[in-house]
Amino acid sequence: MGRKRKPIYKIVAADSRFPRDGRFIEEIGHYNPNMDPIEVKVKQARALYWLKTGAKPTETVRNLFSREGIILRWHLEKKKADAETIEKEIEKFLSEREAKLQRAKEKKERRKLKKSKKNTTASEESAPAE
């Protein structure tokens, strides 16, 4: 999916006997690395269903699921945690993730501001005095 130099990837459940780019059983989401922050849309219920039935995610998909909290939810459900505990842990995970993204965004803005200040002072020094 996507276009030249702007890829968008589907997240699918596929039989291991099918070709990598071939037939698949179900599309459960998509991943767009071109956005800032990266966009990952996943049908959580279907992803959990496939994980529970024994589907083995690729390393990349596992990282994406981990980032979205799906692997955490699956792990807690395997440990037989009650629904309230699971929701509390997921809420905590998502709030920490939002805070981390906000800090990264602020850091990026500070660096950009610092770089622009450095460029303006360098251009003032190199300008001839008349």
- Domain segments of the chain: what residues? 1-80, 82-125
Residue 55 amino acid letter: A
What DSSP string describes 23-76? --SEEEEEEETTSSSPEEEE-HHHHHHHHHTT----HHHHHHHHHHTHHHHHHH
User: Max Cα separation, the chain?
Assistant: 78
pLDDT mean across residues, the chain = 88
Instruction: Quote the pTM value.
Output: 0.75
pLDDT of residue 115: 87
pLDDT at 54 over 80: yes
Does 121 score more than 80 pLDDT?
A: no
d(Cα 68, Cα 74) in Å, to the nearest integer?
Answer: 12
* Bridge-based pairing state of the strands 6-7 and 2-3: antiparallel
* Better-predicted residue by pLDDT, 60 or 1: 60
For the cut 80, the answer to whether the pLDDT of residue 129 exceeds it is no
Class of the 1-80 domain?
Answer: alpha beta
